[in-house]
């Protein structure tokens, strides 16, 4: 291989791909056949973490960063004056396999700028995946669906890839018009719909014919940029819910906008990445998917944005104090999961342990419940509990006083002594 050339391309094309946050390698079920290379079982592995703390599980690169579009939020937009490069198909295949053999990665995440037209680009992405599978590579492959790609190509992509994704990027249709005037909303949703329908068809056919070829076993996902337009948290989460329901997304990712351009339509270069907001959105996403919350319980017209100083579950509980305290030894699973400070693992342990004896504060502490938050919302087998009828503001104050958060300095009203 021409080492120096590959090195240069890799630097350019990995740099351009890093704004895609998805790095999941889980949820697939490809086993190693006939002494081939690799497998992808249900569990993903993060092989390393970048210095910003994000997981590195896949070799995440663009096939090329040439692009015919000019989306304001994107670093590879055609009007941006940056170095351009393109990989050959075999170069990507060799890199992936050699990284994989050294246990650096779980597989490949391949995206691309759009050159010539969407179908032409999609064909090239598929060719890489196909070549990898032909070399008996069973690792994880995540392909980007190019907005506007035809249904036939989306079908073919699913035969080789484990996961497909189209990034919706801008949560509102009006925002999309403003920032990406060349793209239409339908360009994004059409490939999603095709993948969803194929997944359903695969599931049905597989019931009858066991040998139906796999179709994108790890499903599809999408990503939204937050903080690029002036959307509210409610806009973001309502459209996330829509994509989860309508297209049966495995995941919706939220990516705090990293300023990459001087454009009057966008936050200026050097403005802070909204990491706290991103964090709160993910917490909400988890509440919706695993804790049985409905989106309108957390975000609605009275509360269009999430609290910054407390997590969304606590914030919900403070607005609904009439539902508390909950008896930890009697309440059912769904109710337990709604107590602030209790995660699903604690809930599981509590449900198991309470079959043997009534639990008290000491048990709960050892199990790992965050009592500093939870204690205001529950009673257990003990004579001591919060007897006073505290008001929501008071509880919030007490919790904030007795805890510390990693983002606290970003919103704290208090003056910093040392800075």
Partner 1 sequence: MNPSKILIYDGSFNGFLTSVFVAFEEKINVVDIQPNHQQQSGLFSETETVFTNVSKAKRVWNGVRNKSHSAISNIYFAFLSETDGVELLLFRYVQKLMPTKGQKQSDFSDETILRISQLARSVGREKHRMEAFVRFQLTKDGIYFANIEPDFNVLPLVSKHFRNRYADQQWLIYDVKRKYGIYYDLDHVELVSLNLKEIHFNKIKKSDAFLTEEYDYQTLWNDYFKSTGIKSRINRKLHTQHVPKRYWKYLSEKKETA
Count helices and strands in the chain by DSSP H and E runs: 16, 10
For residue 140, the cross-strand partners are 107
Structure-derived torsion over alpha carbons of residues 286, 289, 290, 294, reported in degrees to the nearest 10: 100
E strand map for 248-341: 251-256, 326-327
End-to-end distance of the chain based on CA atoms, in angstroms?
Answer: 50
Complex with partner 1: residue 91 or 233, whichever CB lies closer:
91
For residue 59, the cross-strand partners are 108
- In contact, 196 and 247? CB cutoff 8 Å: yes
- 262 in contact with partner 1 (CB under 8 A): no
Residue 12 has which token pair? 């350019």
- In contact, 76 and 67? CB cutoff 8 Å: yes
- 393 in contact with partner 1 (CB under 8 A): no
- 200 in contact with partner 1 (CB under 8 A): no
- 52 in contact with partner 1 (CB under 8 A): yes
Contact region with partner 1 (CB under 8 A), list: 6-14, 214-222, 317-325, 392-400? 6-14
Distance of alpha carbon 224 from alpha carbon 18, whole angstroms:
14
Rg for the chain, CA atoms, rounded: 24
Distance of alpha carbon 367 from alpha carbon 361, whole angstroms:
10
- 47 in contact with partner 1 (CB under 8 A): yes
- In contact, 163 and 220? CB cutoff 8 Å: yes
CB of 253 to partner 1, least distance (A): 14
Among residues 15, 123, 263, 309, which is the contact residue for partner 1, using CB under 8 A?
A: 15
Distance of alpha carbon 218 from alpha carbon 184, whole angstroms:
27
Give the HSE-up count for residue 47: Cα atoms under 13 Å, Cβ half-sphere: 17
Complex with partner 1: residue 46 or 398, whichever CB lies closer:
46
E strand map for 130-177: 140-144, 163-165
Pick out residues in 338-377 that bind partner 1 (CB under 8 A): 349-350, 352-357, 359, 363, 366-367
Residue 352 has which token pair? 């198991």
- 335 in contact with partner 1 (CB under 8 A): no
Q: Is 326 helix (H, G, I), strand (E, B) or coil?
A: strand
CB of 243 to partner 1, least distance (A): 24
Complex with partner 1: residue 158 or 274, whichever CB lies closer:
274
- Tell me, residue by residue from 73 to 112, as one string, x for binding to partner 1 by CB under 8 A and - for no binding: ----------------------x--xx-xxxx--------
Among residues 5, 14, 330, 409, which is the contact residue for partner 1, using CB under 8 A?
A: 14
- 404 in contact with partner 1 (CB under 8 A): no
Q: Under rule CB under 8 A, how many of the chain's residues touch partner 1?
A: 58
Length of the chain: 419
Complex with partner 1: residue 239 or 283, whichever CB lies closer:
283
Pick out residues in 264-283 that bind partner 1 (CB under 8 A): 273, 275
CB of 368 to partner 1, least distance (A): 9
CB of 342 to partner 1, least distance (A): 14
For partner 1, the binding residues (CB under 8 A) are: 1, 3, 6-7, 10-11, 14-15, 17-19, 31-32, 35-39, 45-56, 59-60, 95, 98-99, 101-104, 136, 256, 258-259, 273, 275, 349-350, 352-357, 359, 363, 366-367, 406
């Amino acid at each position: 291989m021409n080492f120096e050339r590959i090195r240069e391309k890799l630097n350019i094309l990995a740099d351009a791909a890093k704004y895609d946050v998805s790095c999941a390698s889980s949820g697939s079920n490809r086993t190693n056949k006939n002494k081939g290379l690799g497998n992808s079982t249900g569990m993903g592995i993060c092989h390393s973490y970048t210095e910003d703390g994000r997981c590195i599980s896949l070799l995440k690169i663009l096939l090329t960063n040439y692009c015919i579009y000019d989306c304001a939020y994107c670093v590879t937009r055609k009007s941006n004056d940056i170095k351009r490069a393109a990989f050959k198909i075999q170069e990507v295949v060799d890199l992936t396999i050699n990284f994989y053999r050294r246990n650096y990665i779980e597989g490949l995440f391949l995206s691309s700028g759009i050159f010539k037209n969407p179908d032409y680009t999609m064909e090239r992405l598929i060719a890489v995946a196909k070549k990898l599978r032909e070399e008996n590579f069973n690792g994880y492959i995540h392909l980007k669906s190019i907005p506007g790609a035809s249904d036939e190509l989306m079908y073919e992509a699913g035969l080789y890839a484990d996961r497909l994704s189209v990034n919706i990027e801008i949560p509102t249709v009006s925002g999309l018009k403003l920032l990406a005037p060349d793209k239409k909303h339908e360009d994004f949703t059409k490939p999603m719909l095709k993948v969803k329908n194929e997944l359903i068809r695969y599931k049905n056919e597989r019931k009858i014919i066991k040998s139906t070829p796999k179709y994108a076993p790890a499903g599809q996902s999408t990503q939204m940029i937050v903080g690029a337009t002036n959307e509210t948290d409610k806009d973001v989460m309502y459209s996330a819910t829509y994509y989860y329901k309508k297209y049966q997304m495995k995941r919706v990712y939220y990516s705090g906008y990293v300023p990459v351009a001087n454009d009057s339509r966008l936050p200026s270069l050097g403005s802070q990445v909204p990491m706290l907001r991103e964090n709160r959105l993910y917490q909400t996403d988890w509440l919706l998917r695993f804790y049985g919350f409905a989106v309108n319980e957390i975000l609605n017209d009275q509360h269009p944005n999430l609290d910054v100083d407390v997590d969304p579950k606590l914030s919900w509980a403070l607005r609904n104090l009439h539902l508390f305290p909950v008896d930890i030894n009697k309440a059912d699973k769904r109710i337990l999961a709604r107590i602030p400070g209790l995660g699903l693992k604690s809930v599981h342990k509590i449900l198991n342990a309470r079959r043997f004896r009534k639990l008290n504060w000491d048990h709960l502490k050892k199990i790992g419940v965050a009592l500093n938050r939870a204690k205001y919302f529950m009673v257990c087998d003990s004579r001591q509990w919060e007897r006073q009828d505290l008001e929501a503001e008071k509880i919030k104050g007490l919790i904030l006083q007795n805890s510390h958060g990693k983002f606290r300095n970003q919103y704290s009203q208090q003056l910093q002594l040392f800075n």
